[in-house]
Amino acid sequence: MTAPSYVKPRHERRFGLRERLLLGLLVAALGTVLVAVVGWVSFQRVVSSQQAIVRDTLPAADALHEAVRANARLAALAPRLLRADSAAELDQLRAALGVDVPLVRDRLAALRSPHVETELRERLLATGDRLAAGLEGMSAAIDQRLRLRAARLERIDTLRAAIDGLDELARIHADNATAQLVSTLTTLLQPDPGQGAPSLAEREAARERVLDLDIDSLERMHELNLTVHALGFLIGRLDELDSGARLQAARVEFAAHLALLARRLADIADPGGREQGERVLRLLASALDEEGTFALRAREIALRAQVETLQGVVGELTTELDALAGELIHRGGRILAAAGSAAERSATSGLIAFGVIAAALLLVTLGVTVHALRRHTLGRLRALEEATLALASGRREVAIDTAGDDELASLAVALERFRANAIERDRFAEELRQQQQELENQVLARTAQLREANAALARETADHARARHAAEQADRAKTAFLGTVSHELRTPLAGILGLLELVEDASSTTERKQYQAQMRAAAVLLLELLEDMLDFARIEAGGVQVDKASFSLRDTVNDVFAVQGTRAAVRGLALIAEVDPALPDAVQGDRRKLSQILLNLVGNAIKFSDTGAVTVRVRAGTQPDHLHFAVEDHGIGIEPARQQEVFEPFVQVRDSGRHHAGTGLGLAVCRRLVEAMGGAIELKSAPGQGTTVSFEIPLPATAAAAVEALPAATEPKRTALPPGHRVLVVEDDEVNRMVVERFLDALGQQAVCAPDIQNALRLLQARPIDLALIDMNLPDGDGRELLARLRALPAHAHTPAVLMSAHIPRREVDALLEAGFAAFLSKPFARERLRALLADLLAEPAAAVPTRGTAGVAEVLQATDWIDADFLRAEREALGEETVADIVGVFRTQGQPLIDALLAAARAGEHEACARLAHKLRGAAGNVGAGRLAECAGALEEALKPDPTGDAPRVGAIGDLAVRAGELGEAWSYTLQALDALRSAADDAEAQRPDQTPPGSTSAASR
């Protein structure tokens, strides 16, 4: 017998928490998979329905809609085709058909959806093909109709011309018949008195001839005339005949008139007239041929009926196509509705299955969870709960018991790991917070940058708006500029052209002199207009660059008066300068721009004043180192409402409708210059009370240089011009070429002229020359090219060549002279200037030959004539003896101080002052015709300009400058002597021949 065992059997692990949880998770996973499968199946059903809609139905619907729209356009094109009246319009409509017809065919061919019935698709395609064929047939018929119409109209023009000729023939013969009748009646009723009264037999014969022949002939000719008009009327009514019956009736009527015309033409006695009428008859009869005008019109009517029939067919086809398309669209709508219903059913069933499975999964999960937790102690769970709550509240120092090997122990280990991870996450969160703070700082910085960029963009937008406004203003200014310039330039040019005609018709030398003086005044006005426009263009293009240099304030004002003195004297105005004695004379600033401002203001004051004086006042400004200038006149004045407008470009004051010559740019240029110099300009005026324009600019005082007297120079030598030299003139402008040729003839030289390079080379190969005058711009090249080819000829390797031009800047002249030209002539030039240059270049070998383009003072002083007598005579005739005498007196009075100051400045070595004084003397000399003195002064001014290769002037040493200034002083003395000699000669000639006027001559070559 076996004793019972008290050893407790080994405890086997039962279905614990892990297993239960695993079971619950497995069930949940299976439920999740099941839910996913059900949802996927439902979604696939919905997707299939949507794909069916997108893949099959929608493309077909889109294609059908495009086909319907194209069909509508085709339906609209059919009436337009019928109304097409020209080949261009037909080509345009054909182009539209070429786009829409293929589009309809392509869209109908694209209806390949399984939801589109094959039979319906075939009907659509067939209807589209018939529609395309109908439209093409309409297009072809209309094209043929237009061609027939063009041919018919061309023939109608020919028939009308023939009918007009026949009408003229009929009228002539009708007039002849009428004349014959009148002649017979005149003979019968009014016999010749010398022959006696006609006998009774003669009267009876005349009466029979009138009744049987003359009246019948007249009636036949009138019937011919009416028949011609009837034929012309029928030809002109062809376009109105729109049916075959009317056209046939017109054809029959036309044939009847032709038959009558043939009979009436046979009655024409003149064989030539009858032959001409028969030719016209045959031409008119051709209108009834098979290819004649009536046949062409009949084919037109038939084609129009055919086109109208085709239009009806096209309308029916478009309607049929619209109906088939509507039916197809309706069926597509039903298909779309069915697909939508299927998708909705699939979604509903999937949602129900998803809800049921999800509810079952929730119940299973809850059962497993409750069963697993019910068998465990709550202490460990409470400890784990407390630890979890502590960790959730942020207390990371809580202790967690991880003893054991069951699921709760594993959970405790996991919770411990969670605590460690939470500690690590806190560390990471702190680092992330710091990074976030840095990122916020960067965002703020970038926001500030973006704000600055937006502000910059706003400024740039405003700049663009201002630039656009400025561009619009510039465009308006260009329009005003063109209108003003076209008027202002035409005015003096029209005067010059009119005076040229008057010169041609003038019967006396006095009239010619007067017209020539008026032409010179108009040319000066034209030059002033161009100078104003060039100044304004330079300011607008490159802005204004202000220079700083020392200059004499009072000399500047005197220079302005010297230039404008002649104009003021002509108008009977006085020029008054009131400069505050307390102001320094030597100031620092831009003398040229100040002179330009004062010249414009004084010139305007003279232009708009008829009496009184023009006063320039200079006093200290309201700010330190500023001077206040005011130019006052007693002219017409300006209304207050327009005082700001005159500073705008191309605006000019009008006095009771009176227009003063000019471009209206003077005050605009002055304002730009004053503003560029740091000042402001203003205007005070009242109508009829004159105008005062004032401005204030900074002109600080500077130290004045000492001046000394200069001794006189030796008397210049003269060089005569040897006659008989052969001079080649290459000039493309015929007028300039003729003027230079006349100048050379007057100087005793032989001129050989050529308009271009090729002709010049042929002349050079035929015979050598002594000198060449070459224009810069030629039709087949330029002056440099001709010079190179001239130098390539052995016989002319060293022949002097002179370059002529009217637009080469002074800074480019030296480079051209370095290229090989012996001298440069700026057009227009005086005959004496040409004589002096030829004398220098064609002198004997012992004479000095200039090597640079601008002749020096010594060379200029070698002229024989110091005063242009023709110029003074023309001025006397235009302005009067007293006015010219006043001008010469002003020249004597103002010229001597200029010479004295020039000599003193040369002795002191003041190059800029010498250049300025030489410039003033040149302008004053030009006002009295002292061409030689003007050239001397211009040569000295040019020599005092800085050399292009450096900053030093061409005249460097003080001794050289003194010599050149002394020569200019002697030229001044010779000029005064020449004036006195001319005055004496004029007085003697007037005493000997009081009724004769010395002939004048033009002294300047026109450009």
Residue 580 pLDDT class (50, 70, 90 cuts):
very high
Cα–Cα distance between 109 and 86 in angstroms, integer?
34
Name the burial class of residue 39, with classes exposed (0-12), middle (13-18) and buried (19+) by CB atoms within 10 angstroms of its CB: middle
Cα–Cα distance between 421 and 512 in angstroms, integer?
119
Is 888 in contact with 929 (CB distance < 8 Å)? no
In the chain, residues under CATH classification 1.20.120.160 are 843-1007
Closest CA relative to residue 320, chosen from 120, 139, 57: 120
Give the model's pLDDT for residue 330.
66
Pick the CATH number of 843-1007 from 3.40.50.150, 1.10.10.10, 1.20.1560.10, 1.20.120.160: 1.20.120.160
- What is the CB neighbour count within 10 angstroms for residue 578? 13
Look up residue 16 and give its two tokens: 């614990």
- Per-residue pLDDT at 457 exceeds 80: yes
3-class DSSP assignment, residue 789: helix
Cα–Cα distance between 652 and 557 in angstroms, integer?
25
User: What DSSP element (H or E) covers 773?
Assistant: strand 771-775
Is 184 in contact with 209 (CB distance < 8 Å)? yes
In the numeric block, the tokens 């005739």 are attached to 877
Name the burial class of residue 559, with classes exposed (0-12), middle (13-18) and buried (19+) by CB atoms within 10 angstroms of its CB: buried
Look up residue 437 and give its two tokens: 């703070």
Bridge partners of residue 552, in order along the sequence: 586
Give the start-end residues of each E strand in 236-393: none
Cα–Cα distance between 962 and 710 in angstroms, integer?
7
Look up residue 692 and give its two tokens: 């005062």
In the chain, residues under CATH classification 3.30.565.10 are 544-698
368-377, 424-433, 732-741, 871-880: least confident range: 368-377
CATH of domain 17-138+304-367: 1.20.120
Name the burial class of residue 863, with classes exposed (0-12), middle (13-18) and buried (19+) by CB atoms within 10 angstroms of its CB: buried
CATH class of 723-835: alpha beta
Give the model's pLDDT for residue 108.
66
Please tell us whether the domain made up of 544-698 is placed in CATH 3.30.565.10.
Answer: yes
Residue 81 pLDDT class (50, 70, 90 cuts):
low
User: Model confidence over 262-308: pLDDT tens digits?
Assistant: 777 777 767 777 787 778 777 777 777 777 777 777 777 777 777 77
- What is the CB neighbour count within 10 angstroms for residue 57? 21
Please tell us whether the domain made up of 150-300 is placed in CATH 3.40.50.720.
Answer: no
Cα–Cα distance between 278 and 287 in angstroms, integer?
15
Cα–Cα distance between 675 and 670 in angstroms, integer?
8
In the chain, residues under CATH classification 1.20.58.920 are 150-300
Closest CA relative to residue 112, chosen from 127, 94, 124: 124
| Number of residues in the chain | 1007
43-57, 225-239, 284-298, 412-426: least confident range: 43-57
**DSSP summary character for residue 794:** G
Helix, strand, coil shares, percent, the chain, to 5: 70, 10, 25
Look up residue 625 and give its two tokens: 């180192």
In the numeric block, the tokens 């050598």 are attached to 768
User: What DSSP element (H or E) covers 563?
Assistant: helix 553-570
In the numeric block, the tokens 């001014």 are attached to 941
Residue 61 pLDDT class (50, 70, 90 cuts):
low
In the chain, residues under CATH classification 3.40.50.2300 are 723-835
Cα–Cα distance between 333 and 444 in angstroms, integer?
56
Cα–Cα distance between 611 and 592 in angstroms, integer?
29
User: Model confidence over 738-779: pLDDT tens digits?
Assistant: 888 988 988 889 999 999 999 999 998 888 899 999 998 888
